[in-house]
């Protein structure tokens, strides 16, 4: 028995309406209609659908900025301790200290009246960085300078992540100031304070 062509068309239209109403409204839906076959056996497959879905918004449009790219890296104060100091210099504990903002480490040569001072953070920032006719020099891989002097001694100054450091003092040569600065190593603040107490 053959199905009348008008019934097949009506059935096809109803199927297209049902399929269209059930599709998610998130993009573009394309429905491709094939020719209605003449023989009854082929009429069991009346409608062929080709559906292509395109998201209205891409992942990049909704992506939030990477936190590492939007957050400025926090500067970290390094509590430096010297690997070696000339034997004639002794640690002056009463003039040395540290807190969360900076530190001062002083070694004195009492017989000569000389001193070596290692400053970091707020202590070093008390002095204008590379003021005047200072001589540029690379210190620990950073741009720095030999600080201006009256001839009584030299110092070196540099910045790491915008935190200022310096080494120098009365009777200190350029060579000694640079040597000490290049041989500093960082400690945790508690370890730094323990070292100060024990020496």
Encode pLDDT of 3-62 as tens digits: 555 544 455 555 454 444 545 554 444 444 445 455 544 444 443 444 344 444 444 344
Q: What is the pLDDT of residue 1?
A: 53
Residues contacting residue 104 through CB under 8 Å, at least 6 positions apart: 95, 96, 97, 98, 117, 118, 119, 123
Residue 95 has pLDDT above 90, yes or no: yes
Q: What is the pLDDT of residue 14?
A: 52
Q: State pTM to two decimals.
A: 0.63
Domain boundaries, the chain: 5-57, 79-198
pLDDT band at 134 (very low <50, low <70, confident <90, very high): confident
CB 114 within 8 A of CB 169: yes
CB 169 within 8 A of CB 156: no
Q: What is the mean pLDDT of residues 145-150?
A: 77
Closest CA to 119 of 74, 155, 76, 88: 155
CB 197 within 8 A of CB 189: no
| Structure confidence by residue, pLDDT tens digits, 153-197 | 899 999 999 999 999 999 999 999 999 999 999 999 999 999 999
Residue 101 has pLDDT above 90, yes or no: yes
Q: What is the pLDDT of residue 174?
A: 92
Q: What is the pLDDT of residue 69?
A: 41
Q: What is the mean pLDDT of residues 106-122?
A: 95
Relative to beta strand 142-146, strand 155-160 is antiparallel
Q: What is the mean pLDDT of residues 66-93?
A: 78
CATH number of the structural domain 79-198: 3.30.200
CB 20 within 8 A of CB 44: no
Residue 112 has pLDDT above 80, yes or no: yes
Q: What is the pLDDT of residue 111?
A: 92
Could you count the other beta carbons within 10 Å of the beta carbon of residue 165? 27
Q: Tokens at residue 134, please?
A: 């200072």
CB 188 within 8 A of CB 79: yes
102 phi and psi angles, rounded to 5 deg: 180, -175
């Amino acid at each position: 028995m053959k199905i009348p062509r008008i019934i097949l068309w009506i059935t096809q239209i109803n199927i297209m309406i049902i399929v269209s109403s059930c599709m998610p409204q998130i993009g573009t839906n394309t429905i491709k209609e094939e020719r209605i076959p003449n023989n009854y056996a082929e009429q069991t497959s009346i409608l062929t659908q080709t559906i292509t879905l395109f998201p209205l918004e891409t992942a990049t449009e909704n992506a939030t900025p990477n936190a590492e790219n939007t957050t400025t890296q926090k500067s970290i104060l390094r509590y430096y301790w010297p690997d070696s100091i000339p034997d004639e210099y002794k640690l002056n504990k009463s003039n040395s200290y540290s807190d969360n903002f900076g530190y001062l480490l002083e070694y004195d040569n009492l017989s000569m009246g000389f001193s070596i001072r290692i400053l970091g953070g707020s202590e070093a920032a008390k002095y204008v960085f590379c003021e005047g006719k200072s001589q540029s020099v690379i210190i620990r891989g950073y741009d720095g300078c030999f600080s201006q002097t009256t001839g009584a001694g030299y110092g070196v100054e540099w910045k790491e992540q915008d935190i200022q450091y310096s080494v120098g003092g009365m009777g200190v040569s350029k060579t000694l100031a640079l040597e000490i600065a290049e041989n500093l190593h960082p400690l945790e603040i508690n370890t730094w304070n323990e070292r100060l107490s024990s020496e």
